[in-house]
Structure 1
Amino acid sequence: MRRVKGISREALEFILEASRSSMPREFAGLLQAREGVISEILILPGTESSEWMAWVPVYMLPSMPIVGSCHSHPVPNPAPSQEDLEFFSRTGSYHIIAFPPFDERSWRCYDSSGRRRDLIVIESNRAQTPVFRPE
């Protein structure tokens, strides 16, 4: 298991905005971390969503490390379902569920067994973050 110390504010804001924009459908993605901070959300081709579920084609997982998943619940209930727990068991150890009204308090993090887990929000210094890195 990769150790994660937190999630960047930008990554969390992306999850919340994508969840809000997807309403009434669920949103789903995978989490990637750099230097122990969840900083990227990966959306796989073929991901499907409806008002009741989101489906991520795990057979399309890239060969890059994934630390967990994120998805939304269109109702204000952050508890993971049985289907969520099955998905969690295949996609890492950090799983974020966002729920209405999709603000900074409307999300929870769980481990792969569905137990709540603390995850701090890490502020980044945007002035030092490169927007484009030439190869």
Structure 2
Amino acid sequence: MRRKKVLGIAKDTLKFILEASRSSAPLEFAGLLQVDDDIITEVLILPGTESSRMNALVRLYMLPNMQVAGSVHSHPSGVLRPSEPDILFFSRTGDYHIIVGPPFDERSWACYNAAGERRDLPVLDVQFDDDGFEDDLY
């Protein structure tokens, strides 16, 4: 599978990840990353995802027929390095993997490639298109 280069992550998407992780603590938070116009803009949380203090289990068989750029999960312990099980999971879900930890701010996260090696992921200040979805609710 050919992996597409990602230019960065949207600042608002990173804020969502940090807040969701903070809200989930002391349990792990986990999701998959989706790209729009070469920028990570979405976090997909699959049905059946289970979280505990030690890990999060993402049921990849629940993934709809779509590509993901990678994954995101929290380490409430604050250790931002991937474990061996993390790296095994990384190899199945793309090439951009974010781990966040306390205090869940703009400095408490890291990105890794599928092999578990640290990589740069710029935070980009991008505007999201208004798709009008909220208008359809009223």
Q: Normalising TM by the smaller chain, what interval?
A: over 0.9
- Counterparts of 2:40 and 2:74, CA distance in 1: 17
What secondary structure does 1:31 align onto? Answer: strand
In structure 1, the residue matched to 2:127 is 125
Partner SS for 1:80: coil
Distance 2:110 2:12 in 1: 16
SS in 2 for 1:78: coil
C-alpha deviation, 1:131, in angstroms: 5.0
Q: CA RMSD in A?
A: 1.4
What's the secondary structure of 1:12's corresponding residue?
Answer: helix
Letter in 1 for 2:99: I
The match for 2:88 among 86, 89, 92 is 86
Q: Taking structure 2 as the reference length, what is the TM-score of the superposition? A: 0.92
**Is residue 2:70 matched to residue 1:68?**
yes
The answer for unaligned runs of 5 or more in structure 1 is none
SS in 2 for 1:77: coil
1:17-32 equivalences in 2 (<5 Å): 17-32=19-34
Shift of the alpha carbon at 1:54? Answer: 0.3
* From 33, 55, 73, the counterpart of 2:35: 33
Question: In the alignment, which residue of structure 1 is the partner of 2:49?
Answer: 47
Is the partner of 2:118 in helix, strand or coil? coil
1:6 aligns with 2:8: yes
TM-score of the superposed pair, with normalisation by structure 1: 0.94
Q: CA-to-partner distance for each residue in 1:20-59, whole Å, 9 max, x for gaps? A: 0000000000000001000000000000000000000011
Q: Return the letter of the residue paired with 1:56.
A: V
AA aligned to 1:4 is V
Residue identity in the other structure for 2:80: P
**For residues 87-112 of structure 1, what are the alpha-carbon distances to aligned partners after superposition, in whole Å with 9 as ceiling and x for unaligned?**
10100000000010000000000000
1:7-30 deviation line (CA, Å, top 9, x unaligned): 000110010000000000000000
In the TM superposition, residue 4 of structure 1 has moved relative to its aligned partner by 0.2
Decide which moves more: 55-64 or 99-108: 55-64
1:6 alignment partner AA: G
Q: Which residue, 79, 98, 104 being the options, matches 2:106? A: 104
Structure 1 runs of 4+ aligned residues shifted over 6 Å read none
